[in-house]
Structure 1
Amino acid sequence: MVPGAQARPYKDFLTPSLHKRFADASFYTLILCFFIAVWMGDLDNVIWSWFPIGPAGIRTTLLFIPALIVYILRVAQYHVGRRNTQTPWETFSKYTLRQNTFMTIACYSLSAWFYTEVYIWGRSGNDRLGFTEQGKYHERIKLNERPFFLRFLFIVLAVAQGIVHLWKDYDKIEIPAMKPKKEREGATATEVQMKPRQALTQQLKPMGIRALALATLTLIAGTTFYFLGFRYIFWEYYFRWARWLVSLSKTSKPTGLPPFIPLVMMFMAEGSLLALLWQFVNLAFNLYISQEPLKKDKPITSDSKDPNGSLLNGLKSKKNEVKAVAFWELALITDRFLERRKTIYGELNRKKAATFKQVSDICLAEIRLLTSRINIALDPKYSPADAGQKKQPEPISLVPQIAQPLKDGQIKGPGYAPTTRMEKFGSLTADIAKTHSSPQNAQSAYAREYLKKGQEKFSQGAKEAETIYSSYFSKLVASPLGWPFRASLRRTASLIITGAPYSQISLLCNAVTTLTNLTVYSIKEDEYGRFQEEVPEIVRVFTTAIKKIDEYVASLQVHWSDFETLARPEAERKKIPEVDEVRECLVMGLERVLGAFNEYLMSMGMSRLETQEAKKCVSRGPEMAVAR
């Protein structure tokens, strides 16, 4: 390890790791595409129906392209943490018209179209899915409506899948929020965690059921929409486009869909398989991307010449996805890897500050940010002390001042006596106007009185309109249709505690876990004894954060429209899972720190009052804090 060397960027280690996981997920997706390709083929031929070097292999490669489109979409749009908004309507208005929304629908539509073309091109003439149909000998070639209707249903399926993708936020990647441990457990998290391949196998049946349900709903909705007058509109544009490719008559009506039942069965089978492929891709991406940042059971930055320097670059990253993975790796290092943890204490000559000092400052900054969010929620006029009390730089005097400073007001030039007749007449008129005009005279004019009365009527009408609007809006919120506009105690508290626009609960808990582990293990592993300088500040920040969470939760009031919270018993209304998780993490961390440094805190500069306050935060449960 070379602390003085130029540390490589964190992405140089994260990106190859993600590529490896992407390749693993793609491999199992390719296997699923192979089974779908065998199903699409001619099952009468025992050998060529499944032999990879042949039609089955070509079809497998083509079917992987629709899956690859969704993979590209996921790579481009994934984010860490769930969306945090106050109401469902805010979520809808904030995310509906974004570029990512249209890109999601477009990618699924492109994927569905390519899948449909692969299926149609492989069908025989008996399925009647050709572009045109040969009529009688004396008739011209007819445009076939059956493949057009089948393509339409697949596009509707793509739109439905895109809506589900956006509604359930498939772009979300969950990174575990590690908590400080009281005792070392026998099995490590790596042994307990289920492998992605096993999770994919277990989820095949539920995914198949959901895919069949989505295909069924799409068939019903798509067929209804198609035959409710839109059939002829679609057909007209389709026919105009087709005339550029083949020789057709000037006008034509839809040729019909019989036999209809075989066409429906085709869509139900292939539509379900396509929906299953999409769900498989999304689940595989989530499982593999959210794996621990390890390479050969070691942190991914272990290959760097300056591992801790590269990790610090990741902790300081402006991209939330990179930063979240770096915090996760740091928490894992301080929890499992003894030798690597010792290097954090020992690197004292790093540029800017020692490694442990930089790590502590970065982690404490995340917890202080939590405290700032709560302070702003409790008092909207709150501003951090550092921002409000910035020292102004003193002026530098290079030469002695020999003249009075310039005035800030208007500079009035010297007057001059009028000379011509017009100038004298203008001067006389101006003097008369200045003498006989004043603001009081203008206010007493009739025009000003009428204007004042009009303003009063306008403000009164605005207040009445606002009252009527509030009344109707309250009735709407109370009705079943008002669910998107209802306030939610859980949403509001989660937004304040875990941050926005996406939850940062993993950053918070992993930062707390890191500080706790570094503090506890520093007693035996910090050879230079320097980390103890950070312990008092860690205790103070943890204590302040716990007290602020308790104060904020106690101040929360359940809105009358929050029917979900009001339906719960009164004692459980303020039990919010996300808030409880953050508070529990802080309490567990503070408890371990106090257990390790309790007898030394007084000699480290902490007062007896601060120590007692920290112990109260540990002993007081969330129920007692809310009741207080």
Structure 2
Amino acid sequence: MATTATTTTATQPRAQMAAQGSVSSSASVRPYKDFLTPLLHRRFTHAALLTLLFCWIGAIYLSTSKSWIWWWFPLGTAGLRALLLFIPCLAVFIAQVMNMEVGGRNTTSGFETWVQRATESRTWMTLLWYCFSGWFFGEVYIWSSSEEAELGWIDYGRAYERPRANENPVVLRCLFMLFSVASAIGFLGSGRDNVKIEEVEKTVQQLQKEGRESKVPEPLRLLYAQAGAVLRHTLSWTFVGLVFAALTYLLVLRTLAWNWMAYPLARLMVRNLPENSGPSGIIHGSMLFRQAVSGCSMLVALWEVSSVVFTIFVHQLPLKRGQPLTSELKDASAIMLSKSSDPNGSLLRGLNAKKTMPRGFAFWELHLISTGFDARRKTVFSEVDRNPKSSWAQTSSLCLAQITAISERISKANEPTEYQNKAAETEQQRRQQEYLIAQQREKTLSLPRIAQRGVLSERDVVAKQQSTALQTFGNVTRSFGQSPGAPNPIAPQARKAIEWTEQRTILNRIRFSPASLQQEADKFALQFLQTPLGEPFRQTFARRVQAVVFGVPYSSKANILHAAKSLVRLAVASLKEDDYGQVAPSIPTLIRTFTGAIANVNRFVGTLAPHWTDVQFQEHDRQVSEVQELVSVLREGLEEVVLAFGEYATSLGLSAKELREAREAVGRRDVRERAV
């Protein structure tokens, strides 16, 4: 065991290691973003070049040249048109970069997601960029058409007809803008702007198994695998969107677009146009339909390809030339390709970053280093003179903080329930005290003394006499009807009317009481929540659990999984690679943290009451797949650590109770026996 070699001589002398550590600590550490930003820029450039190729294909499709060379030659009009078509794709790239985050958005309901989106400035900037993309594409598409397309602002008609404003280009431009708004909303709701690390890792593993000997680059294979999905989405979105856009134009935008865009522009070109009497009407309807289908499908296809290509290139492993991102790289001739004076220092700065992008990629890189790069992993144990703590101490504390945060969020989520229970108990005690005080006060009250009465004024005497006279008159009247043998002064019909009125009054009081109104409102709300329109307002059990376990507003699931896996791998590897024995004292904390997180998550999932809006909740809904995956990773890691360090449990400071709790958390009976 390498932990017992703390007093032995390492591969390098201790003085030399200390000197190297002091040099690395005194040197300026480059921020993690200095490595991540150039990497993303290179990937952005590669994605742009591949997208430009598809724009060139689109430019060939729009070409009207009859020459067999110029209709495709990239240095002619086809190349210029391809560059113009690339501008709408570039706008989509900008929108994706602006919204890019690590981890999906974590909210308790769909309505909360849209509220968060609506209050963010980048949401409206995304809408503007998509509108610019659709508008610019429309201009390129219309101006690339031939004269036979009838897309000019003026319809000159035949020789004997007066020129008039043409509505066809207005229709196409409005369709493109409506598609832009719908695509922006769909992009914001689809979550394509988030870097989903788990999906990237699964896809990479699958491609590595299927095509180990393939010479085709990985991005092209991924693009080929998603070609069918892109085609299906383009066709479905085009035809469904056309119906929606056409109805919206005819019912809402037609008159507005004609009065504010079509006729004023046409009047600038031809002064002798007739007076504006409304839209002139669509001419060449079949041709306009073909243009709408081809233009909208081409626009959606460019958006889809741009989004997929950007995702494929940018959402890749944090590696550079097959090495970790923060590592120093040299070619075969010892020429420096990437300089890094303190790789682990830069990585630690990334792990401690506040923004989700550098922090997510840093934990991703740490996981890759822990599992696939032995030489770099050993440096985590050898850098013991780093300020303020060693590399292992800082790495382990940052990773454990991700796991400890789960228990902290669960405790905060349980605080409102505990506070309500305490408040109810306090209120009940207060009411009991008030009741006892009131009873005691009634017992101590005596008859009022005459000396305590105030002196009555003349106004009080007159009012008292009037009230006494009214009371006397009422008593006489009442006695007239209640005298023995006297007839009832109220007729039977009137008596029935009075009784009916009294019953209706009582029913109305019950019906319009606050409790009854609240009951009716709750009934209506439950009926609404059961409809498809009420689905965005449901706070489902799964979303509430994920919001607490993984955090908000963005999920930290990938960071937690990478932190747990990296800690376990580093701890197990320390048995052979930790020459200074600094990992062994951290093992009890690691085991306690993993055990506590597993117990807290299981308890929280088992005891959390469903929200009243979760009208479709069933008991089997407590099995949330994402949370189960997290618990499974923690259990497997805890089992591996206990098996590796079980024989040193007593010397490390672990008690039999803690080992038993760890065994129960793992759920394996043989862990204790195998560990001992």
Residues 1:480 and 1:157: Cα distance change in structure 2 (over 3 Å): closer
**Equivalent residue, structure 2, for 1:606:** 654
Give the 3-state SS of the residue equivalent to 1:549 in structure 2.
helix
Question: Partners in 2 of 1:232 and 1:269 — Cα distance?
Answer: 25
Task: Please give the residue correspondences for 1:293-304 in structure 2 after superposition, counting only pairs within 5 Å.
Answer: 293-303=318-328, 304=340
Read off the aligned partner of 1:226 and give its amino acid letter.
Y
Give the 3-state SS of the residue equivalent to 1:380 in structure 2.
helix
Residues 1:382 and 1:469: Cα distance change in structure 2 (over 3 Å): closer
Read off the aligned partner of 1:20 and give its amino acid letter.
R
Give the CA deviation at 1:81.
Answer: 1.3
Residue in structure 2 matching 1:310, options 339, 346, 356? 346
Read off the aligned partner of 2:564 and give its amino acid letter.
V
In the alignment, structure 1 residue 224 sits paired with structure 2 residue 247: yes
Bigger Rg, which one = 2
Residues 1:86 and 1:117: Cα distance change in structure 2 (over 3 Å): same
Read off the aligned partner of 1:166 and give its amino acid letter.
L
Residues 1:276 and 1:343: Cα distance change in structure 2 (over 3 Å): same
Residue in structure 1 matching 2:583, options 526, 531, 534? 531
Residue in structure 2 matching 1:555, options 591, 607, 622? 607
**Equivalent residue, structure 1, for 2:395:** 359
Question: Partners in 2 of 1:59 and 1:332 — Cα distance?
Answer: 43
Task: Please give the residue correspondences for 1:184-583 in structure 2 after superposition, counting only pairs within 5 Å.
Answer: 195-228=218-251, 230-239=253-262, 241-242=264-265, 245-248=268-271, 249=273, 250-303=275-328, 304-380=340-416, 465-558=517-610, 562=614, 564-566=616-618, 570=619, 572-583=620-631
Residues 526 and 615 in structure 2, CA contact (< 8 A), matched pair in contact too: no
Question: Partners in 2 of 1:32 and 1:617 — Cα distance?
Answer: 53
Q: CA offsets, 1:314-353, max 9 Å, x none?
A: 1111101110100110111111111111111011111111
Question: Partners in 2 of 1:177 and 1:49 — Cα distance?
Answer: 41
Give the CA deviation at 1:309.
Answer: 0.5
Residues 1:37 and 1:489: Cα distance change in structure 2 (over 3 Å): same
In the alignment, structure 1 residue 123 sits paired with structure 2 residue 145: yes
Question: Partners in 2 of 1:325 and 1:171 — Cα distance?
Answer: 15
Taking structure 2 as the reference length, what is the TM-score of the superposition?
0.75
Give the CA deviation at 1:380.
Answer: 3.0
Give the CA deviation at 1:178.
Answer: 11
RMSD: 2.8
In the alignment, structure 1 residue 586 sits paired with structure 2 residue 634: yes
Residues 1:229 and 1:195: Cα distance change in structure 2 (over 3 Å): closer
Give the 3-state SS of the residue equivalent to 1:90 in structure 2.
helix
Give the CA deviation at 1:104.
Answer: 2.1
Residues 200 and 316 in structure 2, CA contact (< 8 A), matched pair in contact too: no
Q: Where in structure 2 are there 5+ consecutive unaligned residues? A: 1-19, 329-339, 420-453, 455-508, 670-676
Give the CA deviation at 1:366.
Answer: 0.9
Residue in structure 2 matching 1:54, options 76, 80, 86? 76
Residues 1:482 and 1:146: Cα distance change in structure 2 (over 3 Å): same
Question: Partners in 2 of 1:473 and 1:80 — Cα distance?
Answer: 36
Task: Tell which deviates more after alignment, 93-102 or 197-206.
Answer: 93-102
**Equivalent residue, structure 1, for 2:87:** 65
**Equivalent residue, structure 1, for 2:164:** 142
Residues 370 and 570 in structure 2, CA contact (< 8 A), matched pair in contact too: yes
Taking structure 1 as the reference length, what is the TM-score of the superposition?
0.80
Residues 326 and 347 in structure 2, CA contact (< 8 A), matched pair in contact too: yes
Residues 1:363 and 1:36: Cα distance change in structure 2 (over 3 Å): same
Residues 1:42 and 1:242: Cα distance change in structure 2 (over 3 Å): closer
Give the CA deviation at 1:192.
Answer: 11
Read off the aligned partner of 1:53 and give its amino acid letter.
L
Q: CA offsets, 1:395-451, max 9 Å, x none?
A: xxxxxxxxxxxxxxxxxxxxxxxxxxxxxxxxxxxxxxxxx9xxxxxxxxxxxxxxx
Residues 529 and 615 in structure 2, CA contact (< 8 A), matched pair in contact too: no
Give the 3-state SS of the residue equivalent to 1:301 in structure 2.
coil
In the alignment, structure 1 residue 89 sits paired with structure 2 residue 111: yes
Give the CA deviation at 1:205.
Answer: 2.8
Residues 1:178 and 1:153: Cα distance change in structure 2 (over 3 Å): closer
Larger helix share, 1 or 2: 2
Give the 3-state SS of the residue equivalent to 2:53 in structure 1.
helix
Residues 89 and 306 in structure 2, CA contact (< 8 A), matched pair in contact too: yes
Residues 1:301 and 1:618: Cα distance change in structure 2 (over 3 Å): same
Give the 3-state SS of the residue equivalent to 2:281 in structure 1.
coil
Give the CA deviation at 1:252.
Answer: 4.3
Identical amino acids, percent of aligned pairs: 35
Residues 595 and 662 in structure 2, CA contact (< 8 A), matched pair in contact too: yes
Residues 1:175 and 1:340: Cα distance change in structure 2 (over 3 Å): same
**Equivalent residue, structure 1, for 2:437:** none
How many residues align? The count is: 538
